[in-house]
Amino acid sequence: MDFNLTRQHEMLRDTVHQFADSELAPRALELDEKGDFPFDIVKKCGEMGLVGIMTPKEYGGTDMGHLARMIAIEEISRVYPPLGFFFQTGHLGHWSVQTYGTEEQKKKYLPSLCKGEKIMFDAITEASGGSDPAAAQTTAKLEGDEFVVNGRKVFITLPGAADFGCILARMDDKFSEILVEKGTPGFEVVRREKIAGFRTTPVNELVFTNCHVPKSNLLGQEGRGLAIALTTVAVIGRTGVAGIGLGIARGCYEAALNFAKERKLYGKSISELQAIQFALVDMNVEIEATRWLSYYAAWQIDQGKGLREIGADIARAKLLGCDLANRVAPEAVQLMGGYGVTAEYHVTRRLNDALQLFPAAGTQEIMKLTIGRSILA
């Protein structure tokens, strides 16, 4: 048993840490205030090999794996969680293409995704509920060499900034995943939700009205769409949330720790008060525990283990990562008193971001169902 990170993982952590401090921290407040998608930062992440971190080298990636991805998302989210959310959601479609796509699709889409030049969304959820994807009503009918897509998708992250995406569509009694490019007649991004956190990552509603796409845009086997979508959400979405949760918690904990060292009350630093020490210790211990559980889940994916074997471990990581962020962020606000709720201390923006982790990649209740099925099997 070896708990050491590889030297590559260590160097990746260091460089993403420095990148986040130097490039993201100075812009975090401004980015959140404006709410515009940070295309330039994503491009920079592409140049650094971070967007293609789990993509094979032949398609422009660095192929460092899922643990490396989690480390990068954690370090980015420690400073600017909306960018972590871009990695979490953008990688859904990205991974679907590299895992289930044809050679032609991989060559067409992956290199520009890895460079951060193109952005992809993954559309599953409909008004019928994200927890019940089999109730989705969007349809795709094969007419000659084209699919004709009709339907509506809600709470889809990234379409407002993306160039193309994959959608889950019903074909009679089965589902298929279909790639759709922006600008295709009949495909509209109709609104952007006003959400609490992740201010720069657009969450949109999509409408498809007799939208014709080539048959060659089928992603994976016809009729296997639901399995592809759910596997992708589990493997990529949930580990991504775990990384974001870790990052948010670390960012809040570090802010609270620094504050406690500097803030003086009753003539001494408040870090000398046991009540403050205990609060910081609780945060620290929970972060460390969640980190190792989450790393274990990602590491197992890198070992080639299948979702059937490690689905519960991934669900545990999502469950704990989300809870961690939503416990540590309010605790940091509490510790920092009035300063905690000011924008300058960067905790409330992280608290808002943390809230978005509850529904992302499956609710906490769905995680418990997954874990429950595993332990009661």
Partner 1 sequence: MALNIIVCIKQVPDPEHYSKVTLDPVTKTIRREGIPAVINPVDKNALEEGFSIRDSYSGKIAVLTMGPPQARRALEEALAMGADEAVLLCDRAFAEADTLATAYSLACAVRTMGHFDLILCGNETADSGTSQVGPQLAQFLGISCVSNVKEITFEEEMSLVAKQSLEGGYMKVRLRLPALITVRKEINKPRLATAFGIIEAAEKEIKEWCCKDVEVDSNCIGSAGSPTKVLEPIELPRRKGEIMTGSPEEAVKKAIEKVRELGGLT
Does residue number 11 form part of the binding site for partner 1 (CB under 8 A)?
yes
Does residue number 53 form part of the binding site for partner 1 (CB under 8 A)?
yes
* Shortest distance, position 25 Cβ to partner 1, whole Å: 14
Could you write out the three-class secondary structure of 39-89? HHHHHHHHHCCCCCCCCCHHHCCCCCCHHHHHHHHHHHHHHCHHHHHHHHH
Does residue number 12 form part of the binding site for partner 1 (CB under 8 A)?
yes
Stretch that binds partner 1, among 14-22, 90-98, 126-134, 216-224 (CB under 8 A): 14-22
Q: What six digits make up the tokens of 162?
A: 């993306």
Q: What is the C-alpha separation between 202 and 161, in angstroms, rounded?
A: 7
Does residue number 7 form part of the binding site for partner 1 (CB under 8 A)?
yes
Provide the CA 203 distance to its chain's centre, in angstroms.
Answer: 13
Does residue number 49 form part of the binding site for partner 1 (CB under 8 A)?
yes
* Shortest distance, position 287 Cβ to partner 1, whole Å: 19
Q: How far apart are the first and last CA of the chain?
A: 27
- Of 71-100, which residues contact partner 1 (CB under 8 A)? 72
- Of 226-245, which residues contact partner 1 (CB under 8 A)? none
Whether the Cβ atoms of residue 326 and residue 354 lie closer than 8 Å to each other:
yes
Query: CB under 8 Å to 272, separation ≥6 — which residues?
Result: none
Identify which of 88, 99, 363, 319 has the alpha carbon closest to the alpha carbon of residue 231. Answer: 99
Q: Which of 24, 48, 140, 280 binds partner 1 (CB under 8 A)?
A: 48
Q: Which of 68, 120, 158, 354 binds partner 1 (CB under 8 A)?
A: 68
The sign of the torsion formed by the CA atoms of 219, 220, 226, 231 equals negative
Q: Which of 29, 63, 207, 269 binds partner 1 (CB under 8 A)?
A: 63
* Shortest distance, position 324 Cβ to partner 1, whole Å: 25
- Of 17-36, which residues contact partner 1 (CB under 8 A)? 18-19, 22
For partner 1, the binding residues (CB under 8 A) are 7-8, 11-12, 14-15, 18-19, 22, 47-50, 53, 57, 62-64, 68, 72
